[in-house]
Structure 1
């Protein structure tokens, strides 16, 4: 069995293997670090008010992401097909399960694209930019602009992600250093109401862990580009693990910096800890500083998502040989898949349906993670002779640990909101049925 999917028609073009490890790190860092590290520390401090525990939990979630990533990295290094979890599920469980995972991944993240674009519009208004333009239209324009960058090809899109992620990391570095070393200014008036210190509880730790784990989502970004990264058997591992290490370092250092300025009780009363900490140090200049950091963060996440998820749609279309949708331009961009992604994400941003998709996607994406962990074990058993340039150490322990964690999260999400979860799976079942009916007469690419 070949490890590379061949296009059924070479005249339709092909993805270009022009990306390197630097891009892989950039798509991880750029696709992960965003509003979470600016806002989530307040939620974490509500559950845990010990500085040592706060830092430990942020580091622990980085370790969990590292362990979870081992299944994805092994699959990506050995299967080497575009599409990320879709390609892994298809290889391990067959076309129908692969189709279900691909639809879930693509549709759920359309809500993510829309949400991020809307927040981008809100922050532009906060800076007094284009305040006469509705936020929904600003969000649509943001998605279109990022789509235009990706239209220019894989090299241009990859380089834009590298530059954006580097700028983002530098800005966070400046913010962290500023909080560490800048002279303390006069505290400005904020809406922070210090919470009463509470004892460490199991419920508080769970609340903190859930909040932190969400800020690490997106660490698997490099795995979607297995047919475009040079030497994917090794590069995906280097990019993913290095990216997670960079993200973890920034998250831990940012929280250490916040705690240099604010007490855990003050953090627990804040819905934007970074702004309150910066206000304590920089005074009135804090607002524009944090907003600028936020804007760069949002743009790089949006750019990463608009580059990643057309690959999922393209991979599904290629498997079932859907005309045009499986075509690739000479510059390496699957343009019709890109258009479909931009249009869907952009329209959701203007009409607000993205909120429903975000709620729906939580349990679905947790289940998708479970399937990826299981796929690593299944492929090992079924294909013991498959070339594996990178193998997870202590197999199958990392996959089993990650599977248990993701399964627990899935159960928690279902128990917390069974009605929404039922709707999510009902909607997914309908979409899968429609996709299956539309493609069942299509020959499946080998």
Structure 2
């Protein structure tokens, strides 16, 4: 090996199939299933239609994750959408993604999950009234900082945290399912009579209902961000996807049936925390268990989002699209600590003005815009480069269907119910080009970052990490 090669560090392949399943399922099962059902029902209008929305969201997540499994076995690099768009569509679109992701999408996801975690944590201390916004945001900020520290310290410990919380949240959902089954056996089926009455069939209500439902499924693509740290990715990536995403989909459907068995549509729509309302009716004095379960669930999801989010910055910096310091790893712990610290800082800034519902809608709009571009890249590879080795492949109809669905999700709310906020988000996405041309393409002001990079490298004890793992 040459000298430059030996000076570089490598992120270790420490994520096995159990960790992989936990990273997907543990991130997917977060705050959404405890908070989004009322928003889905409120937008779509009927219990039957809400179950259809949840099933369709699950089907879309399964199809998308299978397509990503093929992408991950063809392009075996960490970084998810960023690296796939870079390799198939070029650096400009890839930079637009990473600019939007780093400044808004990832921090918005972290902020949204941390806010829901905080709401469940502080709720018992403000029984009968709404908790102060400042208190909720301070607790959310504390959760972000704690998990940032965990992920900076040790990859293996971060994965152990992920596995523990995944088991806890799956048990909580199983408890809800069992409670619903018991109530069904007792004959509580009134809420399913004429279950499609009052369905809102407008394009915008359907699109926004999908946004709320898909927020709960977000994380189906999480494993693709850490491909380089996955043991035997050509085997474990598809295997983990095929275990985790269908399992979560079935759980979500059964949990929603349980909610609708116990609560009337009116009770469900008026609840600010549907799992807690369900717990109070079914478990009585033990209803607090659901508040604890929801908090644990959000905390585990936040950990998974952190674990993958830092890797996106890391990969983009390695490709020259972010400051070089973000492509470095701690020399002692072999974790991408600068990228994690950067993600934490931006997430805390987004948390200050953010509110949960706005974060969910604009996060989903932006995310599916780039999912469409990513899967268009898979279609390009299938048609133009069929000779590439593919340990795992999906029928071409799957990416076509997911691209069509993604285009609908992006355009539906804009066409049916235009809002100026969607224009702002779109302009923000394309503003990445204004940053790319002077600072990335023409490399203006490189000296400014060099001194800062050297200072931070010494302060954080980090060194460039090897691309070839």
TM-score by length of 2: 0.81
- The residue aligned with 2:153 is 152
Q: Relative to structure 1, is the Cα distance of residues 430 and 168 closer, same or farther in structure 2, using a 3 angstrom cutoff?
A: same
- Is the 8 Å Cα contact of residues 207 and 409 (structure 2) preserved in structure 1? no
Which residue, 378, 381, 384 being the options, matches 1:379?
381
* Matches of 2:143 and 2:7, distance apart in 1: 32
Q: Relative to structure 1, is the Cα distance of residues 271 and 436 closer, same or farther in structure 2, using a 3 angstrom cutoff?
A: same
**How far apart are residue 201 of structure 1 and its match?**
5.2
- Residue 112 (1) aligns with residue 109 (2): yes
Q: Which runs of 5+ in 2 are unaligned?
A: 187-193, 447-466
- The residue aligned with 2:317 is 317
- Residue 77 (1) aligns with residue 77 (2): no
- The residue aligned with 1:304 is 304
* Matches of 1:179 and 1:59, distance apart in 2: 18
Aligned length: 427
The superposition leaves residues 382-431 of structure 1 with CA deviations (integer Å, 9 ceiling, x where unpaired) of 32221111101x3x211111110000111113333452222223223334
**How far apart are residue 209 of structure 1 and its match?**
4.2
Question: Which sits farther off after the overlay, 111-120 or 84-93?
Answer: 111-120
Q: Relative to structure 1, is the Cα distance of residues 39 and 116 closer, same or farther in structure 2, using a 3 angstrom cutoff?
A: closer
- Residue 124 (1) aligns with residue 121 (2): yes
* Matches of 2:363 and 2:36, distance apart in 1: 20
**How far apart are residue 223 of structure 1 and its match?**
0.9
* Matches of 1:38 and 1:359, distance apart in 2: 17
* Matches of 1:434 and 1:265, distance apart in 2: 48
- The residue aligned with 1:364 is 366
- The residue aligned with 1:347 is 349
**How far apart are residue 237 of structure 1 and its match?**
1.1
Q: SS of the residue aligned with 1:385?
A: coil
* Matches of 2:38 and 2:252, distance apart in 1: 13
Q: Relative to structure 1, is the Cα distance of residues 361 and 262 closer, same or farther in structure 2, using a 3 angstrom cutoff?
A: closer
* Matches of 2:196 and 2:376, distance apart in 1: 41
Q: Which runs of 5+ in 1 are unaligned?
A: 1-7, 186-194
- Residue 257 (1) aligns with residue 254 (2): no
* Matches of 2:5 and 2:276, distance apart in 1: 53
- Residue 226 (1) aligns with residue 192 (2): no
The superposition leaves residues 197-236 of structure 1 with CA deviations (integer Å, 9 ceiling, x where unpaired) of 8344533766644532332122111111110101111211
- Is the 8 Å Cα contact of residues 79 and 88 (structure 1) preserved in structure 2? yes
- Is the 8 Å Cα contact of residues 28 and 218 (structure 1) preserved in structure 2? yes
- The residue aligned with 1:190 is none
Q: SS of the residue aligned with 2:13?
A: coil
Q: SS of the residue aligned with 1:19?
A: coil
The superposition leaves residues 312-365 of structure 1 with CA deviations (integer Å, 9 ceiling, x where unpaired) of 111110011843221122433111111101111123324548987665444321
- The residue aligned with 2:456 is none
Question: Which sits farther off after the overlay, 198-207 or 302-311?
Answer: 198-207
- The residue aligned with 2:172 is 171
- Is the 8 Å Cα contact of residues 196 and 265 (structure 1) preserved in structure 2? no
